[in-house]
Amino acid sequence: MITMKDIVLEGHPVLEQVAEEVTLPPSKENKDILAEMLQFLKYSQDSEMADKYKLRAGVGIAAPQLGISKRMFAVHFEDLDGKTYSDGYFNPKIISHSVEQTFLSGGEGCLSVEREVPGYVPRYARVTISATNLAGKQVKLRLRGYAAVVFQHELDHLNGVMFYNHINKQDPFFIPENAKPCDILEDK
């Protein structure tokens, strides 16, 4: 079982590397690691398990955060429309994205960062991602808003990028012209 002691923290070189593609179809070893990562996220959101094992709640985790430089990550969350995302992905790629950007009004956090980093993290408002999922199936996901943010955060980990690398250094709360927060509900 994965616990917080398995998670590497910012400053570790593995978090600054471009991770290696995973051979497809995924090996049993890689599937097992990814399934464990997904299980970690589920436990981290289960108050009993989280209390017992002192887990910090997470909605996504990427293999480099376990010191494994491979292109795979897991997510487990419900977006603001109530749609559930709970799967693991191998070799995810953004195949297209919007020009418009979005950001979380409370900023982002990361299991590998044990401090608050204030500031907006601009992301594409919509992305289409292709990947092989935990079941070994080729999938194409059209994501927007919060879901798009979570997937881009995890994808960044596979490219050695941390969320705070995107925060405007001169003005952390600068809002790009084409960006709107995705977690403040507007009239549709």
Which residues are at the interface with Zn ion (CB under 5 A)?
A: 110
Nearest distance, CB of residue 121 and Zn ion, angstroms: 11
Lookup: tokens for 152: 């881009």
The answer to whether the CB of 163 falls within 8 A of the CB of 121 is yes
**85-105 b/e (C-beta count within 10 Å ≥ 16 → b):** bebbbbbbeeeebeeebbbbe
Strands (E), the chain: 60-62, 72-78, 84-97, 101-103, 123-124, 126-133, 138-144, 179-181
Tell me the residue number closest to Zn ion, measured at CB: 110
Residue 63 or 110: the one with the smaller Cβ distance to Zn ion is 110
Strand partners, 77: 85
Residue 45 or 100: the one with the smaller Cβ distance to Zn ion is 45
- Using CA atoms, how far apart are residues 37 and 42, in angstroms rounded to an integer? 9
Nearest distance, CB of residue 132 and Zn ion, angstroms: 21
Give the residue from 65, 19, 12, 18 showing the smallest Cα distance to 41. 65
Nearest distance, CB of residue 33 and Zn ion, angstroms: 17
Active centre residues (catalytic): 154
Residue 34 or 136: the one with the smaller Cβ distance to Zn ion is 34
Residue 117 or 175: the one with the smaller Cβ distance to Zn ion is 117
Nearest distance, CB of residue 110 and Zn ion, angstroms: 3
